[in-house]
């Protein structure tokens, strides 16, 4: 059990090592076999000890590699391979094939690069990977999910390197191995390095300065003796690093097929070992290879695991008291057979729950399980705890574990977090079917997920941000926000009247009745029948979005009417009518937050979505007006000003941006001044600068920017603006480039608080998919850091509000809405300060506060 395991063997590196490490051996007819023996012995050891689910051998392709293209002397010092080894290399291919292990080689790349690529793919697919090699260059690939196994003295004695082992041996982590070689050089690969710098000097420099790039940047700070050595050798050093860096995006296909053997393969492999006269290995073969017969490692447990791992003893308890006496101290899981229904906010019904502890699972009345949760929350393991918490009194402490949240933190791009699937996937068992098995699986998942969170450095995000947020969100959902049904109803009526008028005008102008809401019909009316200019085709017909229609509205009244019809019907159906229905008997609207909905770490809100209540148009704000404070209270809205740009400034450290925020200047104006080299910039210039700033956040494309800038802007003008921006703010471009490079090599990006987002598509075959992944990657740390900040702010604000009658109602990404008792407004500056310091940046964060009776009419609060 535990995670799936992958073994990647660097074939020739291991054979090479085995050749020198194993005493000379030969068959009775004189064929040398020592390298093969060492190789096979190690393989057997692996199969026994690691029990991999998937296995692959990487080989060097014959011919030159891309490294030779740039550096002809690469590996120029290598002596030709000894003949005794050469013959064994050929036999090795046959042996590997006989054992049914896939072998991959890619022309132009070395086996190391193949290893790097597959280990990265394995990581993306959730494999715990062991790289088996005789060559320590691979240490640069080590991380939480990837370890390197290398022969120690002989072949059967091995040493395993985890990140901590690399640090222990070298004094720095795996990420600096390439820098180490860049300084020290490597005679076997003919990598020059920096003359005069060896092990000690290289280690010293890396510990003090990190990468060679930062050494070059901080050249003046280097000790004088190293300055001299490096001075004339910078290019050589850079080149050496390039040579030493393993490529992790080699174009190759590998399907992680489960390693398995047929009876025939086993027979063939054994007869091959017999021919090689490896009598000891032949004897061991049935027990070592036998377990991979048939369906291989992963399916072997399929039947058994349900019987063993997920085979709870099924008990039952009639009430809380008997449940308590049946349980021992420590963690317990609770699985609710029927999750609470959202609509039944205040309703309690007799349902069943399943409480699991180790092998024991008890069927109990839901009420008993709830009592247990309230008595011992810290031990509780739940899946999607929030709906359960909605029924509990406010202010409850967080549960001990939430498997849905943990799975989200690990892989936020998932769309399905069903308990069944997590149990199946993470515990590698066939799908649980009974509630007893689910409670049992839930209990077991905690171990596995905790381990994974730890390995992937996500424990802090889980424990420090996501888990504490669960009860806070439950409290906000339970409380809801007051809203005026009558106002929605009345507004809906007004809209209906207006819609009828506009609709009639549209039909009259068109000369016939048609469904305005049908883009297909609308397109035909406007572009076929009325022959309006500017028709754009989409896959299914004409494009009729605002971008297209807005240009025509001034000249064609029918188009203006269509746009107005759209606004009116949108407001009526999506907002006025829908919200009216959702005002609960307590006079409030209760949204549901999705903590696992957005891959960046943001929250999402649904049923209804209170994060997209209109604000941009006067008419739309009538909707917002219906959200109001309870009797005796006022609403306070506290929002971060330009939070994502501040995060960007922090992350890329662009001096011009940092200075603008430090000086509390308008950042778009500052941007415009810099771009256009003028002190007084026009409104239009500021508008363009603003768009550029946002373009950066989203991953700019020339075409996209031109579209956004509006009519009259060509792609080449947009390109020119981007060039100007990049010239003026070079650190921004460097930052986005480095993020993409990181996403490529590691497979994920990281926010300021360590939250990761994975990008499987960053190596997609289709360029468009790849480009899209790159844009997502450069946006993720920015949006994600802002999300971290908001979530931390919510946690800290909850502490500030403990014991107060002010309460937090809503999260709208960069805004928090509170309900403050009249007379208790002095809490607002405290909340403001709390938000401003939730996550410190190297630029100030500003939070603006507004207060009012409803969500529309709010007056700024200066403090």
Partner DNA sequence: TACCTCACG
Partner DNA sequence: ACGTACGTGAGGTAT
Question: Which helix (H) or strand (E) segment is 357 a member of?
Answer: strand 352-357
Nearer to DNA, 450 or 494 (CB): 494
**Residue 583: DSSP 8-state:** B
Q: How far apart are the first and last CA of the chain?
A: 57
How much is the CA Rg of the chain, to the nearest whole Å?
Answer: 32
Nearer to DNA, 398 or 623 (CB): 623
> Smallest distance from the beta carbon of 756 to DNA, in angstroms?
14
Q: What gap in Å lies between CA 558 and CA 502, rounded to an integer?
A: 9
User: Which 440-499 positions form the footprint of DNA (CB under 7 A)?
Assistant: none
Nearer to DNA, 131 or 647 (CB): 647
Q: Which stretch binds DNA (CB under 7 A): 242-250, 281-289, 666-674, 812-820?
A: 812-820
Residue 275 touching DNA (CB under 7 A): no
Nearer to DNA, 6 or 461 (CB): 461
Q: 43: number of CA atoms within 13 Å, CB side? A: 28
Nearer to DNA, 482 or 700 (CB): 700
> Smallest distance from the beta carbon of 564 to DNA, in angstroms?
10
Return the residue of 49, 152, 520, 659 that touches DNA, per CB under 7 A.
520
- How many residues are there in the chain? 863
Residue 608 touching DNA (CB under 7 A): yes
Query: Which tokens is 660 given?
Result: 């603008």
Nearer to DNA, 753 or 757 (CB): 757
> Interface mask (CB under 7 A) for DNA, residues 689-728, using x and -?
--x--xx-xxxxx-xxx-xx--------------------
Q: What gap in Å lies between CA 109 and CA 837, rounded to an integer?
A: 49
> Smallest distance from the beta carbon of 431 to DNA, in angstroms?
20
User: Which 531-570 positions form the footprint of DNA (CB under 7 A)?
Assistant: 538-540, 543-546, 549, 563, 566-567, 569-570
CA proximity to 467, closest of 515, 507, 542, 408: 408
Neighbours of 699 (CB within 10 A): 19
Return the residue of 390, 650, 813, 850 that touches DNA, per CB under 7 A.
813
Q: What gap in Å lies between CA 560 and CA 386, rounded to an integer?
A: 45
Residue 225 touching DNA (CB under 7 A): no
Nearer to DNA, 409 or 691 (CB): 691
Nearer to DNA, 27 or 606 (CB): 606
Residue 53 touching DNA (CB under 7 A): no
Count of residues in contact with DNA, rule CB under 7 A? 68
Sign of CA dihedral 22, 24, 27, 28: negative
> Smallest distance from the beta carbon of 344 to DNA, in angstroms?
18
Nearer to DNA, 502 or 599 (CB): 599
Q: Which stretch binds DNA (CB under 7 A): 108-116, 275-283, 493-501, 596-604?
A: 596-604
Are residues 427 and 441 in contact, defined by beta-carbon separation less than 8 angstroms? Answer: yes
Nearer to DNA, 388 or 637 (CB): 637
Query: Which tokens is 765 given?
Result: 């075959």
Query: Which tokens is 433 given?
Result: 């079917």
> Interface mask (CB under 7 A) for DNA, residues 746-775, using x and -?
---------------------xx--xx--x
Neighbours of 312 (CB within 10 A): 24
Helices (H), 747-857: 767-801, 827-836
Are residues 62 and 50 in contact, defined by beta-carbon separation less than 8 angstroms? Answer: no
Q: In sequence order, what DSSP letters do the residues of 472-527 get, joined into one string?
A: HHHHHHHH-EEB-HHHHHHHHHHHHHHHHHHHHHHHHHHTS---TT-HHHHHIIII
Residue 671 touching DNA (CB under 7 A): no
Scored b (16 or more CB within 10 A) or e, 596-609 reads bebbbbbbbbeebe
Are residues 658 and 674 in contact, defined by beta-carbon separation less than 8 angstroms? Answer: no
Return the residue of 298, 392, 611, 641 that touches DNA, per CB under 7 A.
611
Q: Which positions lie near DNA, rule CB under 7 A?
A: 515, 517-521, 538-540, 543-546, 549, 563, 566-567, 569-570, 573-574, 578, 594, 597-600, 602, 604-609, 611-617, 620, 691, 694-695, 697-701, 703-705, 707-708, 767-768, 771-772, 775-776, 779-780, 783, 812-815
């Amino acid at each position: 059990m535990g995670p799936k395991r992958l073994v990647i063997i660097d074939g020739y590196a291991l054979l090479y090592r085995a050749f020198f490490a194993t005493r000379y051996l030969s068959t009775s007819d004189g064929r040398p076999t020592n390298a093969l023996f060492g190789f096979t012995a190690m393989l057997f050891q692996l199969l026994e000890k690691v029990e991999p689910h998937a296995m692959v051998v990487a080989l060097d392709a014959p011919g030159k590699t891309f490294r030779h293209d740039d550096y002809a002397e690469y590996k120029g010092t290598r002596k030709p391979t000894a003949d005794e080894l050469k013959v064994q290399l050929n036999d090795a291919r046959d042996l590997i094939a006989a054992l049914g292990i896939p072998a991959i080689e890619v022309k132009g790349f070395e086996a190391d690069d193949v290893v790097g690529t597959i280990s990265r793919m394995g990581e993306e697919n959730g494999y715990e990977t062991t790289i088996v090699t005789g060559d320590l260059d691979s240490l640069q690939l080590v991380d939480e999910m990837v370890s390197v196994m290398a022969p120690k003295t002989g072949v059967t004695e091995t040493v395993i390197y985890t990140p901590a082992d690399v640090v222990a041996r070298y004094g720095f982590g795996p990420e600096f191995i390439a820098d180490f070689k860049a300084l020290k050089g490597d005679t076997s690969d003919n990598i020059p390095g920096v003359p005069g710098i060896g092990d000690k000097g290289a280690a010293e420099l890396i510990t003090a300065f990190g990468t060679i790039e930062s050494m070059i940047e901080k050249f003046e700070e280097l000790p004088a003796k190293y300055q001299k050595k490096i001075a004339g050798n910078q290019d050589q050093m850079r080149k050496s690093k390039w040579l030493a860096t393993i490529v992790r995006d080699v174009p190759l296909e590998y399907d992680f097929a489960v390693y398995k053997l047929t009876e025939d393969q086993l027979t063939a492999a054994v007869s091959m070992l017999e021919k090689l006269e490896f009598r000891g290995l032949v004897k061991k073969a049935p027990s070592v290879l036998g377990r991979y017969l048939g369906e291989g490692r992963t399916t072997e447990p399929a039947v058994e695991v349900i019987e063993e791992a997920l085979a709870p003893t099924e008990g039952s308890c009639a009430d809380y008291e008997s449940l308590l006496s049946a349980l021992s101290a420590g963690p317990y899981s609770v699985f609710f057979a029927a999750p609470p229904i959202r609509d039944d906010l205040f309703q309690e019904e007799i349902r069943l729950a399943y409480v699991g502890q180790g092998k024991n699972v008890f069927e109990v009345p839901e009420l008993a399980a709830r009592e247990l949760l309230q008595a011992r929350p810290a031990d509780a393991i739940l899946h999607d705890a929030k709906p359960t918490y909605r029924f509990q009194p406010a202010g409850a402490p967080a549960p001990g574990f939430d498997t849905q949240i943990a799975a989200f933190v690990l892989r936020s791009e998932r769309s399905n977090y069903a308990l069944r699937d997590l149990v199946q996937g993470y515990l590698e068992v066939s799908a649980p079917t009974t509630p007893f098995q689910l409670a049992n699986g839930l209990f077991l998942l905690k171990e596995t997920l905790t381990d994974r969170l730890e390995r992937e450095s996500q424990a802090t995000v889980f424990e420090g941000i996501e888990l504490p947020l669960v009860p806070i969100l439950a409290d906000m959902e339970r409380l809801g926000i007051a809203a005026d049904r009558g106002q929605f109803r009345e507004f809906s009526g007004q809209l209906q009247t207006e819609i009828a008028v506009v609709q009639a005008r549209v039909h009259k102008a068109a000369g016939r009745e048609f469904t305005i809401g049908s883009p297909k019909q609308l397109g035909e009316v406007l572009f076929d029948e009325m022959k309006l200019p500017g028709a754009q085709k989409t896959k299914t017909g004409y494009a009729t979005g605002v971008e297209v229609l807005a240009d025509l509205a001034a000249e064609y009244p029918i188009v203006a009417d269509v746009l107005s019809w759209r606004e009116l019907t949108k407001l009526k159906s999506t907002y006025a009518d829908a919200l009216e229905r959702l005002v609960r008997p307590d006079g409030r609207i209760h949204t549901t937050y999705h903590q696992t909905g957005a891959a960046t770490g943001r929250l999402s809100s649904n049923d209804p979505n209170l994060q997209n209540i209109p604000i941009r148009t006067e008419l739309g704000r009538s909707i917002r007006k219906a959200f109001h404070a309870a009797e005796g209270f006022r609403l306070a809205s506290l929002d971060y000003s330009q939070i994502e740009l501040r995060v960007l400034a922090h992350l890329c450290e662009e001096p011009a941006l940092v200075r603008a925020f430090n000086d509390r200047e308008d950042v778009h104006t500052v941007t415009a001044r810099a771009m256009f080299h003028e002190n007084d910039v026009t409104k239009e210039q500021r508008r363009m600068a603003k768009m550029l700033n946002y373009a950066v956040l989203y991953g700019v494309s020339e075409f996209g920017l031109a579209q956004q800038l509006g009519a009259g802007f060509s792609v080449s003008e947009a390109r020119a603006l981007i060039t100007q921006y990049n010239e003026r703010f070079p650190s921004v471009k460097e930052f986005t480039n480095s993020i993409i490079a990181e996403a490529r090599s590691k497979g994920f990006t990281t926010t300021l608080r360590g939250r990761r987002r994975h990008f499987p598509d960053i190596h997609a075959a289709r360029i468009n998919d790849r480009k899209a992944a790159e844009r997502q990657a450069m946006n993720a740390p920015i949006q994600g850091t802002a999300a971290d900040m908001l979530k931390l702010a919510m946690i800290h604000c909850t502490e500030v509000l403990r014991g107060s009658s002010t309460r937090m109602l809503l999260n709208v990404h960069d805004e928090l809405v509170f309900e403050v008792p009249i007379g208790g407004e002095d809490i607002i500056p405290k909340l403001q300060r709390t938000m401003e310091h939730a996550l410190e940046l190297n630029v100030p964060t500003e939070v603006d506060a507004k207060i009012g009776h409803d969500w529309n009419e709010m007056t700024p609060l200066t403090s």
